[in-house]
């Protein structure tokens, strides 16, 4: 029976394919490559244009943002519309939950409106997992950022951007600079880079903005940005998440820039063709100098464009996997029927 094939990873279906997209943890290299390759198919290689395609026509996707977001929410909406899905975006923080409705009641009501997929952003780590545990079997959950836990589509669009500029990731040295402690993006980036077997992953920043044992994540830790940037292919700057800092972890933003801000001089320490990335929103003069953010090595705005294609890829793969699973199950059912008939034959 299908239980023989089932895996403990709640993100995967009985065939080992992605059913919910909650975190990169536990996914295999082939899952990630499938997302990157599919994203590639949505982009015209010459013009970078992303055309609308009809594959999710008749499917309803709801964006549930319990936490404010402009970029992520907008790129999700555009991605959904480019796949021809019907889209509803709900700013939950200001509606139902204020009236005292529980999270699950909200979820079940929205499910009753025949949603096929929920895209969820929530300030609590684990919120997307919670939703995935409670949705109906035909409904899919996609994590658009939960607390300090994960932001898997952001990490995948970063991998896509790196691959577009630098080719295969296993050859590359990647430095992630800034607030590693509070960043769900960094956690997902490190998982993605590890799964794709990047040659070296470095994290750079003050000890106060690092987990207690950064090495446990399979990275090299540098508290000196000049040493950390030496000879890297990719620099990922991370926003200082002042809103998540409960105490004074850095003396001041000015001081942070002096010690860890990415300037033209520091960028020169990396490989000459290194690219500079940032998941946004950028704090100019806090973690990155305008001269670098707007400079020729910056690919920050391309990340945003590629985010559309990568989110289209994740959503179409999830729906494709669901279709293939349904087909598989109906084949199994008809096989079982044949076996029954044979047994009944004289």
Partner 1 sequence: MTELDIDVNELLDNISAQLRDKAVLDKSPKMIGIRTGGEWVAQALHQRLGLSDALGVIDISFYRDDFSKIGLNPTVKPSDIPWEVVDQHIILVDDVLYTGRTIRAALNEIFDFGRPASVTLVTLLDRQGCRELPIQADVTGMTIKCSQTLKVSGPEPLTVSILDHSEEPA
Could you say whether residue 317 binds partner 1 (CB under 8 A)? yes
Could you say whether residue 213 binds partner 1 (CB under 8 A)? no
Could you write out the three-class secondary structure of the chain?
CHHHCCCCCCCECCCCCECCECCCCCCCHHHHHHHHHHHHHCECCCCCCECCCCCCCCCEEEEEECCCCCHHHHHHHHHHHHCCCEEEEECHHHCHHHHCCCHHHHHHHHHHCCCCEEEEEECCCCHHHHHHHHCCCCCEEEEEEECCCECHHHHHHHHHHHHHHHCCHHHCEEEEECCCCCCHHHHHHHHHHHHCCCCEEEEECCHHHCCCCHHHHCCEEECCHHHHHCCCCEEEECCCCHHHCCCCCCCCHHHHHHHHCECHHHHCCCCCCCEEECCCCCCECCCECHHHHCCCCECHHHHHHHHHHHHHHHHHHHHHHHHHHHHHHHHHHHHHHHHHHHHHCC
Quote the least distance from Cβ 68 to partner 1, whole Å: 33
Asked if 328 is an active-site residue, the reply is no
Q: Which among 59, 151, 202, 239 is annotated as catalytic?
A: 151
Residues, the chain, total? 346
Quote the least distance from Cβ 15 to partner 1, whole Å: 11
User: Residue 250, CB half-sphere, CA atoms under 13 Å: how many?
Assistant: 24
Asked if 266 is an active-site residue, the reply is no
Residue in 5, 268, 323, 333 binding partner 1, rule: CB under 8 A: 323
Could you say whether residue 51 binds partner 1 (CB under 8 A)? yes
Number of residues that bind partner 1 (CB under 8 A): 24
Using the minimum distance from each CB to partner 1, give the nearer residue, 114 or 208: 114
Determine the Cα–Cα distance for residues 305 and 267; give it in Å rounded to an integer.
Answer: 24
Could you say whether residue 38 binds partner 1 (CB under 8 A)? yes
Could you say whether residue 137 binds partner 1 (CB under 8 A)? no
Using the minimum distance from each CB to partner 1, give the nearer residue, 57 or 258: 57
Asked if 121 is an active-site residue, the reply is yes
Using the minimum distance from each CB to partner 1, give the nearer residue, 42 or 118: 42
Using the minimum distance from each CB to partner 1, give the nearer residue, 186 or 310: 310
Residue in 14, 25, 40, 101 binding partner 1, rule: CB under 8 A: 40
Could you say whether residue 321 binds partner 1 (CB under 8 A)? yes
Q: Which among 31, 59, 73, 121 is annotated as catalytic?
A: 121
Determine the Cα–Cα distance for residues 325 and 331; give it in Å rounded to an integer.
Answer: 10
Q: Which among 4, 99, 213, 246 is annotated as catalytic?
A: 99
Asked if 151 is an active-site residue, the reply is yes
The count of other CB atoms within 10 Å of the CB of residue 140 is 25
Could you say whether residue 45 binds partner 1 (CB under 8 A)? yes
Residue in 1, 8, 44, 345 binding partner 1, rule: CB under 8 A: 44
Contact 122, 93 (CB under 8 A): no
Using the minimum distance from each CB to partner 1, give the nearer residue, 52 or 264: 52
Could you say whether residue 320 binds partner 1 (CB under 8 A)? yes
Binding part of the chain for partner 1, among 40-48, 138-146, 148-156, 192-200 by CB under 8 A, reads 40-48
Could you say whether residue 217 binds partner 1 (CB under 8 A)? no
Asked if 212 is an active-site residue, the reply is no
Quote the least distance from Cβ 209 to partner 1, whole Å: 40
Which residues in the 247-266 window bind partner 1 by CB under 8 A? none
Ramachandran region, residue 316 (left: φ > 0; alpha: ψ -120 to 50; beta: rest): alpha
Could you say whether residue 54 binds partner 1 (CB under 8 A)? yes
Active-site residues: which are they? Answer: 71-72, 99, 121, 151
Instruction: List contacts with partner 1 (CB under 8 A).
Output: 34, 37-38, 40-46, 51-55, 316-317, 319-324, 327
């Amino acid at each position: 029976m299908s239980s023989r094939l089932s895996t403990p990873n709640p993100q995967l279906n009985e065939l080992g394919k992605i059913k919910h997209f909650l975190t990169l943890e536990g996914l295999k290299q082939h899952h990630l490559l499938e997302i990157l390759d599919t994203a590639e198919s949505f982009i015209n290689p010459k013009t970078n244009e992303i055309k609308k395609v009809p594959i999710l026509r008749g499917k309803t996707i709801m964006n549930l943002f319990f936490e404010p977001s402009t970029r992520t929410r907008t790129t999700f909406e555009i991605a959904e519309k480019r796949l021809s899905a019907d889209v509803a975006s709900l700013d939950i923080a200001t509606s139902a939950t204020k009236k005292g409705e529980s999270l699950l009641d909200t979820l079940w009501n929205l499910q009753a409106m025949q949603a096929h997929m929920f895209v969820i952003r929530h300030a609590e780590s684990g919120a997307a997992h919670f939703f995935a545990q409670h949705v109906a079997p035909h409904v899919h959950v996609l994590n658009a950022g939960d607390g300090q836990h994960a932001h898997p589509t952001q990490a995948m669009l970063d991998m896509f951007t790196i691959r577009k500029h630098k080719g295969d990731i296993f050859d590359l040295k990647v430095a992630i600079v800034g607030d590693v402690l509070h960043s769900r993006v960094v956690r997902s980036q490190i998982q993605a880079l590890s799964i794709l077997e990047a040659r070296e992953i470095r994290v750079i920043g003050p000890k106060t903005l690092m987990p207690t044992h950064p090495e446990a994540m399979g990275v090299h830790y540098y508290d000196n940005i000049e040493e950390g940037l030496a000879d890297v292919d990719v620099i990922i700057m991370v926003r200082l998440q002042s809103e998540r800092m409960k105490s004074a972890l850095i003396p001041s933003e000015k001081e942070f820039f002096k010690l860890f801000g990415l300037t033209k001089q520091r960028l020169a320490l990396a490989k000459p063709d290194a690219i500079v990335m940032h998941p946004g929103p950028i704090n100019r003069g806090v973690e990155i100098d305008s001269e670098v953010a707007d400079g020729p090595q910056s690919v920050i705005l391309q990340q945003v464009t590629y985010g559309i294609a990568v989110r289209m890829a994740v959503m179409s793969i999830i729906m494709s996997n669901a279709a293939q699973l349904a087909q598989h199950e109906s084949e199994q059912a008809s096989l079982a029927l044949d076996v029954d008939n044979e047994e009944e034959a004289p």
